[in-house]
Structure 1
Amino acid sequence: MQKVNSTQKPKTVLKRRDSKRVPVGRASPQSHKTRQKSPLDAYDAKRDFSVTSEPRANRAKAKGNRFVVQKHDARRLHFDLRLELDGVLKSWAVTRGPSLVPGEKRLSIHTEDHPLEYLTFEGVIPAGQYGGGTMIVWDEGRWIPEGDPREGYATGRLTFALEGKRLKGRWRLVRTRPKPRDTKEQWLLLKSDDEHARHDGPEIVDTETTSVLTGNTIEELTQGGQVRADHRARAKVAATRSTTTLPSAKIAGAKKGVLPPFVEPSLAKLVENAPTGPDWLHEIKFDGYRLQARVDGGKVRLLTRKGLDWTAKFQPVADALKELRLPSALIDGEVVVEDESGVSSFSALQQDLKAGRSDRLAFYAFDLLYLDGQDMRKASLLDRKSLLQLALDDLPAGGAIRFSDHIVDDGDSLIRHACRMGLEGIVSKRSDLPYRSGRGDHWLKSKCTQRQEFVIAGYVPSTTSRKAIGSLVLGLYDNGKLLHVGRVGTGFTAPMARALWDDIGAIESPAAPFPVRLSADARRGVRWVRPERVVEIEYRGWTHDGLLRHAAFKGLRDDKDARDVVREDAPAETSCERSPALGTARLTHPDRVLWEDDGLTKLGLAEFYAEIEEWILPHIVGRPLSLLRCPSGSQKECFFQKHGWAGLDEDLVQRVRVGDDEALAIRDLRGLLALVQAGVLEIHPWGSTLTSVEKPDRITFDLDPGDGVGWDDVVQGAQDVRERLKAMGLESFVKTTGGKGLHVVLPIKPSIDWNAAKSFAQTVALAMAKDSPDRYTATLAKTARMGRIFIDYLHNGRGATAVAAYSTRARSGAPVSTPVEWSELSSLRSGHQYRVLNLLGRLEHLRRDPWSDIIGLSQRLDGIARRRR
């Protein structure tokens, strides 16, 4: 889910609506509607000019091309790059300062526009003000853009030359693709390889430390301003700041008070539909541990929702919170681990904790209950969040502490978008209400998938591993009595299955903890335990007899009490039965783990395909298939199977003649589940059907990025293929590969042979490589693919195949090759963003199948192919 700040074009629903985000101590939203918005409004709103000596906002009419780089010792030392454009200074905070080493990437956080008077500003910004700290002018001069600078700024690719006193030569600023919860634009500043570049030696920011205006260093200017004697005194000064450091006293409802030891957290009530209206703000729902950060001088404690002290478990987060240098605070938030797509994962968080890994931990702060002598709980949520954002605004993007941004009003659009992107859901909160402990209607959660906590009542040993659990028996409380709700048998990694064996084996009980005797099937093979441990489970609904349907283990919940576990959703709204084909499928060793890193089992894969049968079957039924079989799992031996094998159930999987050769095919879901039983993890169909096997009806262009190629370039490559085909009057479709790339698929009328189809695809690939040789290649050799995208046309020969739409891949994370709309490409982060564990939530919230037109679309290629030849 992308987040975009107020300087970006509103490409997604997560745009900021500044007219509804009130700066602390300033006018109401209505006052902003009566005047034209200025690009310097954000600059003005963040500063109290009765305190700071910074220049007031004043947009100039002059159109110059000056630049300045200011060394800024705020909460963290960084360098501010400002480029004059349209009467303001476009600004970036370069976290480590500019580097003269070619290709060295320096993270540059886009900040608000500054007035031109800032070109010569240096001085001490008072503590407590936005950007509080010392600033000197480190470099100044002219910048000369290449091409239209406004277009480059808008598209996120600025190339320019600097003629400064210290920085010279050619430079590039490139905007990176935002992650789902980024609140600020992230760019990269890179030096080009020219006569002004350095390939070795010390960094220029280390050797040049003085102001180009006065010759002062940061330390000398700080001492002159009598604000801080030196860097060693910084912590002492910050710890003794008065209550005026942040403007909490200006917020209605804020009252003087003592820092509470703990506050019972506010909890969200599960609802089916997200609320809408101006009184609601909406945040992305996190998938981690809820924590309350208690900051008291130099001491930080992290408390669970039950008040347990977990500081030691998340020490890096506590250390990062200390760097905020807040005298006292109570911050509500959640600690998570995110994958490269920016999606938080509770399973990944648990795995990192078990492995002792802490580099991916991030604490998202979403509420402020106390700050610097002021109890904030009676203030409105919008005011609390405004103050919280001000307290966190100087933190680097992507660091351990992050602000949880929100949108106002449009909850329905946000939940649809979140689910389509594979996120867990959203939390909607009343923006005008004080903080209320406990669960109520003031906080509502809308989920993309159904998840909640359950109590472990027993377990069944694994059939494939010694001293490991194969499934868990689950329950929940209803009026104080434990009810049986079925089992979960997928989602356990091998280490977790062994750890659970030791953990819950220690609380075994001779009798079942349920007050009602279960059926023989429900009791078979179960070892009962005392109902003390809580697990989080994702599931697809309930059967009519009250059992979980398609449940998957997500992790243990040591932060929750078993007696508090009750059913969250309404029984009548989600009841349904499992697929008849799944009920009759013969699965030996259903608890065999096929994807070791996610613990996805054979049963879990069968349930997944049963859920998406209407999506996948049109793309694999009635076609010759090549199969990648991994009988012992994705990390063990795998092999391609094109012909039948001993023990093949030919009633479900057919051997078919294709010319002089044999191939495999299926008719329905029962055949697909038979492939699961055989350990098939990837399904690769031919580009033709059995009824017209020698005349293809689909041509696939596989965009395979070489080393050094970014995801944005892959997306652009797919768009280029589409435009080239569109110029011929041909409509194409796109899907992720489940790997690094994308597939562009062209449906055609089966009227040409395989040679003509392959020749057409090759012609397109060669033309792209000829027109853009620095970006594309049609050569298979790896040496030719370095830094370029291989337009692979070889999938289009007779007998060649490409992975099917909605097929899993035998790769880490159980990714799925997923059709998407062309309009969705800009918000994707990788070719393996969709996985077994998040695809179902996406499909449930799609308004239409992205490939709904591919089956009936009949485009003739014979005339075009002849003209091309």
Structure 2
Amino acid sequence: MPRRATKQAAASAPAERGADALARYREKRDFAATPEPRGRGAAGRRGAPKKPAPARLRFCVQKHAARRLHYDLRLELDGVLLSWAVTRGPSLVPGEKRLAVHTEDHPLDYLTFEGLIPEGSYGGGAMIVWDEGTWEPEGDPAEGMRRGRLTFRLEGERLAGRWHLVRTGAGKERRASTKENWLLLKSDDEAARAAGDADILAEADTSVRSGRTIEDLKSEGVRRADWDEKQADPKAKPSARTTSSTKAKAARAAKEKPAADPRAALDPATVTGAKRGKLPPFVEPCLATLSEVAPTGEAWLHEIKFDGYRIQARIANGRATLLTRKGLDWTSKFEPLAHALSQIVPGSAVVDGEAVVEDTRGVSDFGALQAALKAGDTGCVVYHAFDLLHLDGVDLTGAPLAERKRLLALLLDDAPAGGAVRLSEHIPGNGEAMKRHACRIGLEGIVSKRADRPYRSGRGEDWRKTKCSARQEFVIAGYVPATNRRKAVGSLVLGVYEGTDLVHVGRVGTGFTEADAKALHDAIEAVHADAPPFAAPLPRAAAAKVRWARPALVAEIELRGWTADGLLRHASYKGLREDKDPREATREAPPADETSAAKKTRARTVAQDPYAGIRLTSPDRVLWEGQGITKQGLADYCAEIADWILPQIANRPLALIRCPAGSQKECFFAKHPWAGLDEAVLTPTIGDDAIVAIRDLRGLMSLVQFGTLEIHPWGSTLDDPERPDRLVFDLDPGEGVGFPEIVDAARTVRERLAADGLESVVKTTGGKGLHVVVPLVPKAGWDEAKAYAAGLAAAMAKDEPARFTDTLAKKARTGRIFVDYLRNGRGATAVAAYSTRARPGAPVATPLAWEELGPEIAPDHYSVTDIPIRLAHLTRDPWAGLDAVKQTLPKAKTSSKAKPRRKPG
């Protein structure tokens, strides 16, 4: 069905919305106190007479100065207003994410409501109609709500063009409760603005109906503007009203009556457990105990575990001092952060939080933080505040956490959105669900805290940390020099304390950038020792070529577990910890909740040679400089995910991208055999061409040995090379196309395939787009497969030429998505699932479940460092059962698209 017909059908067939869609709305309000409309009783009630759907659906955006200023987006559907509280207001910048909290449905009368909701009432504060007009959903809006993705067009006085509302978190079905977190995003179209353009929210602050501002309503005491105006002149048009008189009244009121102190609600002395006390010089921090399973229940609040430095901010006399967990003064290292805190907190306070640097995905990156500190440029540092210990002469450490966080939220209420100081939000209840989600999207883990407990210094059970991977601090006992660089570290020798004894735990040989390797060399040489610092002698092999050091330096290391003899397995360097005492470095138990597939992988790598007998030359050669991932690091990655990647590449002709000197140096394409290959690399002939293929882990490790950073298989196997067993549709964005549009395109391809009776799966590419993959029983030949793919691409381009093109020319792609069907010809390839990419950041092409697609996942979201963590916490393989899908190719939609259209001439 064409998209226009789909929209009309959706508008004419409203869905049932429960016994009374406005029940929750009414339960929250006392209509004897609030001027808000009650709403007509029949809205949404089963069995009530249904009025014809309006020809055009209405919307409004209300500016709402409640406890926190926000904008309420309301969309008319099925006799009510679907409602979201957009915390920072809508943005016209394409792809800029604005949190939109889904709230209860509102009555249609609310479209024109503006006035003063009494303080103490639900949503108390002033409200104006900031924008209004009509909206048009794309597709079935009820289905969009269920799926968690609503795409629509607005025609308002201030907002226009194409928009997306996307529910965050996993799960296809719409939950019964509101307060879900969604994201509001603008599409790149004629109504969009560039990032440096004026902000529409700053440009316009008046009501589009009455011309009033929020301040006008407050100064005039207007209980309900639309009532007041109708009573004065029922025929008067509200939008004709000017603001000159009301602004004059506001100015007079401001002189006569001092503005209310926004900190009045911040009285800490009224909190249970609080007591008067002097501002302390330092509060020893509360530390979390490692837990294998995250606690569950309403008594627990769960926060993201940040990957940075624990920093206590002490604010006094308009100046912030920043202290480490040991009480060291690091204010000079984080000067921009100290300035930001001084501006936000006007009185005195002690705030607990974490200083981090975030990558493009919004994930904290400890290596980037260290780089910023080394460069002396910490303007990029973000402070996530998660606790409030003292405020304006009141000691809050005896108060329950829930109260401390409530006061902290009020204290940071005026902090600039997206600025250097941010509140660490929390979610109550199911910690395991939050941890699984955090691990799947590449975070370090979560911290769970008892909501009812006071702040207790030292390590205890009130705070528990649950990690996505084993990660801890180790003592540096020495290093082995690099084989290909002078005065640089090739690997570190590490230890942990058991009582008073330092115990050897092995080496780490990846994770160092070039700069890291040289800086570590100099730092370790400064604490050089003539003998190993371990309590027990080492085997000769473990001590070979080591330059020893006194146990003075602490390194943070990520590891995948321990070998049977107590040594690190698949470890990676993350940075030096200047804030940690070496004697705090003790062995921590790794997280225990692993999927059976992950356990199987670990069992194999521990039980036998992880590299399957392949000896790596120059294992400390850096392949991805930005992450310091070495050839050994790539080998560790491939060994760990072998069970996942081998089904995608084994027994298939392969094309490879080899970068022997690293991704930042010269790389070249290889699809024919070369000298020196191990016998595990197959070199069969297809037609007249000798090709490369592998069958097992040894073959994969041989490719690693030769610097293979990308693996691109054919869509057919060695057993039947002339008949494909999968199709690939590569969605390649043109200039000006954002990732939300790519996600929409992938779903469109899926729907079109489903209409032909074909199931499909999806993966990120590690580049710019997405791949939609179709498994097939190999019956059709290459020509038929390419014709079908070309026909589907042509149909998409014909039906929606503004969104899609099937033309290869770059010029034709501007503002559109190229539906690349050319991956489906004989000899054509596409990057394999779980293959690394020879690109900055070491991204990995990653299979996803369809419900995982959303704005929080980018094409290069996953990397070598976090894919093993993701896989260990999946409850189900996103591509499970792919080989069991028995479907054959339908006839091509057209036979005229066997070759791509190219530019004339």
1:485–1:547: 8 Å Cα contact kept in structure 2? yes
Select which of 611, 614, 622 maps to 1:593.
Answer: 622
Matching of residues 343-358 of structure 1 within 5 Å: 343-358=363-378
Select which of 635, 644, 668 maps to 1:615.
Answer: 644
**Shift of the alpha carbon at 1:770?**
1.1
2:168–2:854: 8 Å Cα contact kept in structure 1? no
Aligned equivalents of 2:851 and 2:734: distance in 1? 25
1:432-488 deviation per Cα after TM superposition (whole angstroms, max 9, x unaligned) = 211111112111111111100001110111111122111111111111111111111
> Residue 202 and residue 357 in structure 1: after superposition, are their counterparts in 2 closer, same or farther (change >3 A)?
closer
Q: Is 1:527 the equivalent of 2:547? A: yes
2:658–2:708: 8 Å Cα contact kept in structure 1? yes
> Residue 422 and residue 583 in structure 1: after superposition, are their counterparts in 2 closer, same or farther (change >3 A)?
same
Q: Is 1:754 the equivalent of 2:782? A: yes
Aligned equivalents of 2:656 and 2:293: distance in 1? 41
Question: Which amino acid counterpart does residue 696 of structure 2 have in structure 1?
Answer: D
SS at match of 1:675: helix
1:625 corresponds in structure 2 to: 654
Aligned equivalents of 2:879 and 2:453: distance in 1? 44
Q: Is 1:864 the equivalent of 2:900? A: no
2:797–2:805: 8 Å Cα contact kept in structure 1? yes
2:34–2:117: 8 Å Cα contact kept in structure 1? no
**Shift of the alpha carbon at 1:328?**
1.7
> Residue 489 and residue 131 in structure 1: after superposition, are their counterparts in 2 closer, same or farther (change >3 A)?
farther
Aligned equivalents of 2:200 and 2:535: distance in 1? 71
Question: Which amino acid counterpart does residue 132 of structure 2 have in structure 1?
Answer: W
SS at match of 1:719: helix
Question: Which amino acid counterpart does residue 576 of structure 2 have in structure 1?
Answer: L
Which segment drifts farther, 218-227 or 531-540?
Answer: 218-227
1:59–1:88: 8 Å Cα contact kept in structure 2? no
1:60–1:88: 8 Å Cα contact kept in structure 2? no
1:81–1:94: 8 Å Cα contact kept in structure 2? no
Matching of residues 161-172 of structure 1 within 5 Å: 161-162=155-156, 170=160
1:479-509 deviation per Cα after TM superposition (whole angstroms, max 9, x unaligned) = 1111111111100011111111222221111
Aligned equivalents of 1:131 and 1:218: distance in 2? 22
**Shift of the alpha carbon at 1:867?**
8.9
1:5-53 deviation per Cα after TM superposition (whole angstroms, max 9, x unaligned) = xxxxxxxxxxxxxxxxxxxxxxxxxxxxxx9643895x99xxxx9xxxx
SS at match of 2:773: strand
Question: Which amino acid counterpart does residue 224 of structure 1 have in structure 2?
Answer: K
Select which of 198, 208, 216 maps to 2:247.
Answer: 216
> Residue 741 and residue 359 in structure 1: after superposition, are their counterparts in 2 closer, same or farther (change >3 A)?
farther
Aligned equivalents of 1:641 and 1:396: distance in 2? 51
Aligned equivalents of 2:205 and 2:111: distance in 1? 24
**Shift of the alpha carbon at 1:534?**
0.7
2:88–2:417: 8 Å Cα contact kept in structure 1? no
1:725 corresponds in structure 2 to: 753
> Residue 305 and residue 719 in structure 1: after superposition, are their counterparts in 2 closer, same or farther (change >3 A)?
same
2:685 corresponds in structure 1 to: 657
SS at match of 1:834: coil
> Residue 161 and residue 703 in structure 1: after superposition, are their counterparts in 2 closer, same or farther (change >3 A)?
closer
Aligned equivalents of 1:141 and 1:497: distance in 2? 56
1:470–1:591: 8 Å Cα contact kept in structure 2? yes
Aligned equivalents of 2:473 and 2:646: distance in 1? 33
Q: Is 1:605 the equivalent of 2:634? A: yes
**Unpaired segments of 5 or more residues in structure 1?**
1-34, 50-54, 229-233
SS at match of 1:38: helix
**Shift of the alpha carbon at 1:852?**
2.3
1:281-320 deviation per Cα after TM superposition (whole angstroms, max 9, x unaligned) = 2222111111111122411111111111112222222222
Select which of 387, 412, 422 maps to 2:432.
Answer: 412
Select which of 3, 23, 38 maps to 1:60.
Answer: 38
Aligned equivalents of 2:167 and 2:359: distance in 1? 14
Q: Is 1:390 the equivalent of 2:410? A: yes
SS at match of 1:702: strand
Question: Which amino acid counterpart does residue 146 of structure 1 have in structure 2?
Answer: W
> Residue 802 and residue 264 in structure 1: after superposition, are their counterparts in 2 closer, same or farther (change >3 A)?
same
Question: Which amino acid counterpart does residue 698 of structure 2 have in structure 1?
Answer: R
Aligned equivalents of 1:337 and 1:423: distance in 2? 13
Q: Is 1:794 the equivalent of 2:781? A: no
> Residue 826 and residue 454 in structure 1: after superposition, are their counterparts in 2 closer, same or farther (change >3 A)?
same
Aligned equivalents of 1:759 and 1:508: distance in 2? 68
Question: Which amino acid counterpart does residue 549 of structure 2 have in structure 1?
Answer: V
**Shift of the alpha carbon at 1:808?**
0.6
1:143 corresponds in structure 2 to: 132
1:582–1:606: 8 Å Cα contact kept in structure 2? yes
SS at match of 1:843: helix
Aligned equivalents of 1:268 and 1:305: distance in 2? 13
2:167–2:181: 8 Å Cα contact kept in structure 1? no
Q: Is 1:767 the equivalent of 2:810? A: no
> Residue 205 and residue 428 in structure 1: after superposition, are their counterparts in 2 closer, same or farther (change >3 A)?
closer
Give the TM-score normalised by the residue count of structure 2: 0.79
SS at match of 1:836: coil
Aligned equivalents of 1:721 and 1:819: distance in 2? 16
1:281–1:409: 8 Å Cα contact kept in structure 2? yes
Q: Is 1:38 the equivalent of 2:67? A: no
Matching of residues 200-349 of structure 1 within 5 Å: 212-213=242-243, 214-216=245-247, 220=251, 223-227=254-258, 244-349=264-369
Give the TM-score normalised by the residue count of structure 1: 0.82
> Residue 467 and residue 760 in structure 1: after superposition, are their counterparts in 2 closer, same or farther (change >3 A)?
same
Aligned equivalents of 2:644 and 2:134: distance in 1? 49
> Residue 699 and residue 217 in structure 1: after superposition, are their counterparts in 2 closer, same or farther (change >3 A)?
farther
Select which of 559, 564, 567 maps to 2:584.
Answer: 564
Question: Which amino acid counterpart does residue 580 of structure 2 have in structure 1?
Answer: K
Matching of residues 36-115 of structure 1 within 5 Å: 37-38=24-25, 41=28, 56=34, 58-61=36-39, 92=86, 110=100
Aligned equivalents of 2:741 and 2:91: distance in 1? 25
**Shift of the alpha carbon at 1:338?**
1.9
Aligned equivalents of 2:296 and 2:199: distance in 1? 55
Question: Which amino acid counterpart does residue 708 of structure 2 have in structure 1?
Answer: V
1:12 corresponds in structure 2 to: none
SS at match of 1:383: helix
> Residue 56 and residue 140 in structure 1: after superposition, are their counterparts in 2 closer, same or farther (change >3 A)?
closer
Aligned equivalents of 1:98 and 1:591: distance in 2? 46
The RMSD of aligned alpha carbons is: 4.0
Aligned equivalents of 1:272 and 1:570: distance in 2? 8
**Shift of the alpha carbon at 1:538?**
0.3
**Shift of the alpha carbon at 1:690?**
0.7
**Shift of the alpha carbon at 1:638?**
0.4
Aligned equivalents of 1:400 and 1:335: distance in 2? 9
**Shift of the alpha carbon at 1:70?**
6.1
Aligned equivalents of 2:760 and 2:498: distance in 1? 53
Select which of 364, 381, 389 maps to 2:401.
Answer: 381
**Shift of the alpha carbon at 1:143?**
2.0
SS at match of 1:280: strand
Q: Percent identity?
A: 50
**Shift of the alpha carbon at 1:857?**
2.3
**Shift of the alpha carbon at 1:545?**
1.5
**Shift of the alpha carbon at 1:646?**
2.2
**Shift of the alpha carbon at 1:691?**
0.9
> Residue 404 and residue 752 in structure 1: after superposition, are their counterparts in 2 closer, same or farther (change >3 A)?
same
Aligned equivalents of 1:502 and 1:125: distance in 2? 62
2:622–2:631: 8 Å Cα contact kept in structure 1? yes
Aligned equivalents of 1:206 and 1:608: distance in 2? 51
Q: Is 1:513 the equivalent of 2:533? A: yes
1:640 corresponds in structure 2 to: 669
Select which of 811, 822, 830 maps to 2:839.
Answer: 811
> Residue 717 and residue 56 in structure 1: after superposition, are their counterparts in 2 closer, same or farther (change >3 A)?
same
SS at match of 2:402: helix
> Residue 383 and residue 81 in structure 1: after superposition, are their counterparts in 2 closer, same or farther (change >3 A)?
closer
Aligned equivalents of 1:866 and 1:142: distance in 2? 45
2:497–2:586: 8 Å Cα contact kept in structure 1? yes
1:499 corresponds in structure 2 to: 519
Aligned equivalents of 1:832 and 1:613: distance in 2? 20
